[in-house]
Structure 1
Amino acid sequence: MNAPETLQLRLGSIAHGGHTVARHDGRVIFVRHGIPGELVNVRLTDSGENAKFWRGDVVEVIEASEHRVPHIWEQADALKHSDPVGGAEFGHMSLAYQRELKAQVAAEQLTRLGGLKAEDYNFPEVQAVAGDSAGLGWRTRMSYSVTEDGRLAMSGFRSNELTAINEMPLAHPGIEAIGLYAVDFTGIDRVEAAVSSEDDSTVLVLLSEMRPGAAKRVAQQLPEGVNVAAFSQSGGSAADGKGELQTIVGNSWLTEKVLGKTFRITGEGFWQVHRQAATLLTERVLDLTQPEPGEVIADLYAGAGLFSLPLAEAVGQHGRVFSIEGAPGTHADAKKNLAEVRQVTVTRGRVERLMRQLAREADLTAVVLDPPRTGLDKQSAAELAESGVQRICYVSCDPAAFARDTARLMARGYELDHMEIHDLYPHTHHMESIGLFVRR
């Protein structure tokens, strides 16, 4: 028997991933675009009879939450579109309530996956970024798909259907100002755009070119002063690290400045997305890690050297910083940014493999790590513990990964001494956690 296409449901608690949890005839349904407590009609998007759980989108609100507000982005509004685009899944809630829900998710993950008892820990609230009252225009990095007729597009959650877009309220005004939505991107597979936080009039557009000559044709449609670079599809892409990035107009890199330090970031390199994230995270990492002259510190998943550079300055000429990054483009940025800092060793490679070597050869006093969304693996956590390092400052963009790694580190002799959460992704379910682990 096929499940009905639409159900009336009372939405329950928030779940990790941007869903609320509802139940129907004993079956769990993960529902997007709702708010806990609301009575809604839900269109089922995944409802196989043998599925462990179903999925659905809110299409009508019968009893609205007091926290519901007009959606910040019409094309992402499930009440107006049957296949709303992703990227602003919390845009129908007040910012203050978004942060309440994120704090609930973080606490639930730390309890369920991290093994922490709520009565033993004062789980933190999610902190707003100073000066970011509306949560708009914060994305200094954007990635778009392209429709068959050459328009910028995005897709919905778990959807392969592309929707042409004409705005993105979370994108930095510097990106929105260059008229990307009017450009014909025929012959281009993907478009990435980045703006410098140092000079928000400097924009870099990175193109994944399917047809020879398409990138040059696109560049001619963009305003003067916009930097354009491209990968050909046959030569690789920014994502896979293969092929060569070709400069079409201007430079293939942007300049960023954080706490007086200058960084060069190529189009293929990683940089924090929120316009204030790099500065905020650097300040917090330095404050929590408390690096001292002469210390030996490992900066794991170091990116372009955002933390490595100020850590090197803090440990001084008699200290040492090991900056380790696996992605080739980002590693190349780190080598340039740290080239003149003698006390830094910049290495490209897998963290767990290099950590084993560091544990044997270096007398580490502290470790800073900012892993990808998947977090650490068991081997990396084991190697960290084997090193005997006393302080670990962990920056995480995923509460589930952070909670799992908390359990792994605590099982190997560390305590979670401090934790804080920052709302670096307003109007989405994402958050940024920073934890300080100390050896018992």
Structure 2
Amino acid sequence: MMNTENRTMRIAVVDDDPEQRGLLRKALEEAGYEILEGGDGQEAIDLARTSNLDGMVLDVRMPGVDGLQALKTIKSEHPEVVVTLLTAFIDLRDAVAAMKTGASDYLEKPVDLDELTIAMDEALGVCRDETGDTDDEDLAIPRGVIAQSPSTLHAFRLAHRVAASDANILVYGESGTGKEIVARYIHEKSPRKEGPLVTLNCAAFPENLIESILFGHEKGSFTGADSRRQGSFEEASSGTLFLDEIGEMPLALQPKLLRVLEDRRIRRIGGTKDIEVDVRVIAATNRELEKEVEEGRFREDLYYRFNVIAIPLPPLRERREDILLLADRFIGEQGTGDKRFSPAAQRALLNHDWPGNVRELRNVSIRASLMSRGNLILPEDLPESLQSMADSPEPTGGSEKPESMEEIQKQAILKALEETGGNKTQAAQLLKISRRNLIYKLRSYGL
């Protein structure tokens, strides 16, 4: 990647969180940029003055000189430097002020690494080959996972890219979408793969037990503590701790968990000494944690500590192209012969909304395989709630009424593609975005 001076373009990544810096650095280096790092606003200013930068990725909220102050100084002294701002706390007034000061873009944390690369490419005028094949390694899917939908492939590509780091990761999606599978995949692709993967379901234990399970206890620290016990953090030493259903973590325990994430030290219940822990933490939730924060049920600082990288998993109803593949796989695992779903039974499966997601599909498939008398699974072999769906036409699209900004964007993209006969270049012009950005959105939304 060369600029007009025939050298590799140089970008500074400035963020007070070293884990976040490392992730951003890796993504931009993979895109061909030379990367420098800084930890606060003053370092950003110094880098702009001394390093002949082409661009900068700058966090807004940092101690001392913040990102907006640094932006103002940098653009006054070096207006040619392209600056993209990052923030976990979107404020419309700050965004407007930043754009007026000269920021090229304003991205919300957790940053989608593909979106960041696209933003920097566009701001710096970089063109890439959009028709090249994707590296097979980037499309790696864990053994046993069946997926064709772009949204699921996107989730695993993101998981693959962040596996090598030690950054905290939040996997979110409805129950049954495969959050633990993603956590296991990240662990197996990470430098910690030889260490343990310890899983703790935060919803499975009462509040008076979960602290001991997480952090351990000393002998005699409470009634029934007959011996010293290591907690999950110590058990996961040199490996990964997967905290499932993190949204169920008791509010009173959240400050202690935050301290461990910040200091990498724990103290057992009844203990007097801190113990260093070398653990990578992945959390998962089926709740809207932003809403939990707003309603006072989840700490804001803990939310942002976990939300360095967020991996969304789509519900099964949004990736219907995977339904029959998964169903066939599930009946094949039963070893009940060469069974298959009839066309009518397939229609029933495709028409169901699957509120229980892949877990529900597995149960339905196994039941149907056991209930069928021959090799062909018929609608009457399915649960009664699905049988009537065999006579309905297969679903052809999404909701008629968008329920979120993502749905609104999806509908706008589909409308633009329809009006341009599927021409992506013309559709991008109609939407007033770049063709590359359109392609990214198509992949992200599974369109």
TM-score under structure 2 length normalisation: 0.25
TM-score under structure 1 length normalisation: 0.26
Between structures 1 and 2, the one with greater strand share? 1
Between structures 1 and 2, the one with greater helix share? 2
- Larger radius of gyration between Structure 1 and Structure 2: 2
